[in-house]
Structure 1
Amino acid sequence: MLEVRNLTKIYRGLPAIESINFTIRPGEVVGYLGPNGSGKSTTVKIITGLVQPTEGGVFFQGGNIRHQLERYRATLGYVPEEAHVYTHLTGLEYLQLVGRLRGMSESLIDVRAHVLLRLWGLESWRHSPIALYSKGMKQRILLSAALLHNPSLLIFDEPLSGLDVVSARIFKDLLEELAARGKAILYISHVLEVVEQVCSRVIVLGKGKVIADETPAGLKLAMQRGSLEEVFAELVRQHDTRTTARELAEAISHA
């Protein structure tokens, strides 16, 4: 189980996040939502061990991750929002590199890498440099790299970016399969329709603080809204999108 306790991060006297608390249990897919600048990226950087909090901590299976960082990272699979990969490597070479850094045996790397490449439709590209891959293909390589070592905790940050319809459908079904196998999953996305479909719980951030933590159905019922998108807009006070759109259109139509 992942526990985020009283997490606070202050930059130059200003809190990026403040007193964040939540848990993710095995088998849960938890959505983590918020407008730009709400603190999602800061939270993820702390959870992945890249940044130390000003206050509070992240605990995995009862222990503070800062006290067991190497062992903790061995249980973590992470797909970042931006697809940063070594583009001079082939798809297969990249997965081999990731597997070796994870301490996996060569035989296990070989088996899993080839299976993942085949299932993601990349087998014929396995010996081509990633520089030649499309954005969606790079995303599938990142997904493969995150899954390669069979982690118990997964963090997906905008994982559908660049994926075609079929790959996106595979990924959404994959989330259900992973949760059924006891994986704890943190899912970050602005595609609220998908969040509503795949997440068992949703945490909404606003100005660095948790302003909601509930099931999608519970949020809609409590706020008497028909969709998670409407709930989100009201919670973060971004409901007047029509007026903003009209003003933008008018701004470019006048000399």
Structure 2
Amino acid sequence: MIHLQNISKGYNKTSKAVDNLSLTVHKGEIFGFLGPNGAGKSTTIKMITGIHSIDEGSITINGIDLKTDPIAAKKQFGYVSDSPDVFLRLKGIEYLNFMADMYDVSQEVRKERITSLAERFGLENVLQDPIQSYSHGMRQKIVIIGVLVHDPDVWILDEPLTGLDPKSAFTLKEMMKEHTAKGKTVFFSTHVLEVAEKLCDRVGIINKGVLQFCGRLDQMRDHFKSHESLEKMFLEMTSNE
């Protein structure tokens, strides 16, 4: 579970990238975080993961306060950033072993997980190659595998489907469903509204740092008194006043 309570982040004295945002992402839930470019999605995610400090408010991950116990809180989640260009000089298997070492995953357990995940994403034959030789999509997949190697309770994914081939995108979406079916949590940002409509239990829409809506798709339709697609509602909610 992720709980944000009145969090804010400003980059100057006159404006806030995120302004007094509160929401809760429950266990057993796929939560989609939507918004136009510059809306505050990535800033929010970087506060949740501890990359950015919080100016105001509080964040808890599975009940652990990120500010007072950051190490314990960070052990609860796996984070896929919006850029897969990391540790390019390492071989794929070296990167995955590094990630397993960071989370104290035993040799026996990591071997099984790496083998299983690499097969699901079609990377089993390139793990001995340097990551800099990978395509963008392959880099995205190796980062995802690295994040999942310690089997975190909470997945935090920033535009995770970008660059993935259709088969791998389908695999990741199925894995999200499998994860939440176990009573665990998925929080992901996306620009692909069709994905949010088909995949998410609830969505949050942020614009100009302010949460415009949080709830189920049918609740959003009731809010607009219509049966329009999420795309039309999204455009209406995030259009400039």
1:209-252 deviation digits (Å, cap 9, x = unpaired): 1111121222134321421111100001169xxxxxxxxxxxxx
1-side partners of 2:63 and 2:56: how far apart? 18
**1:129-153 deviations in whole A, cap 9, x for unaligned?**
1111111111111111111101011
Cα distance in 2, alignment partners of residues 18 and 7 from structure 1: 7
Poorly superposed stretches of 4+, deviation over 4 Å? none
Aligned residue number for residue 156 of structure 2: 155
Alignment correspondent of 1:200: 201
Q: Is the 8 A contact 1:29 1:201 kept in 2?
A: yes
* 1:243 aligned partner: none
More helix by share: 1
Task: Tell me the residue number matched to 1:93.
Answer: 94
Cα-to-partner distance string for 1:58-101 (whole Å, 9 max, x where unaligned): 01233311111111111111111111221111111110011101
Which blocks of at least 5 consecutive residues in structure 1 are unaligned? 240-255
* Matches of 2:133 and 2:11, distance apart in 1: 39
Contact 2:65 2:73 in 1 (8 A): no
State the shift of 1:105 in Å: 1.8
Match of 1:12, as an amino acid? N
Give the 3-state SS of the residue equivalent to 2:67 in structure 1. helix
The TM-score with structure 2 as length reference comes to: 0.95
Equivalent-residue separation in structure 2 for 1:49 and 1:11 (angstroms): 16
State, as a whole percentage, how many aligned pairs show the same letter: 35
Q: How does 1:17-56 map to 2 (within 5 A)?
A: 17-56=18-57
Report the structure number with the largest CA radius of gyration: 1
Structure-to-structure mapping, 1:1-255, within 5 angstroms: 1-13=1-13, 14-223=15-224, 224-237=226-239
CA distance in 2, matches of 1:60, 1:86: 27
Q: Distance in 2 between matches of 1:117 and 1:211?
A: 38
In the TM superposition, residue 197 of structure 1 has moved relative to its aligned partner by: 0.8
Give SS of 1:226's match.
Answer: coil
In structure 2, the gaps of 5 or more residues are none
Cα RMSD (Å): 1.4
> 1:194: Cα distance to partner?
0.3
Aligned residues: 239
1:148-177 Cα offsets, whole Å, 9 max, x none, are 101011111111111111111111111111
Structure 2 Cα separation of the partners of residues 186 and 75 of structure 1? 13
**Distance of 2:90 and 2:64 partners within structure 1:** 36
Find the counterpart in structure 2 of residue 253 from structure 1: none
The answer to whether the 8 A contact 1:96-1:110 is kept is no
Q: TM-score, normalised by structure 1?
A: 0.90
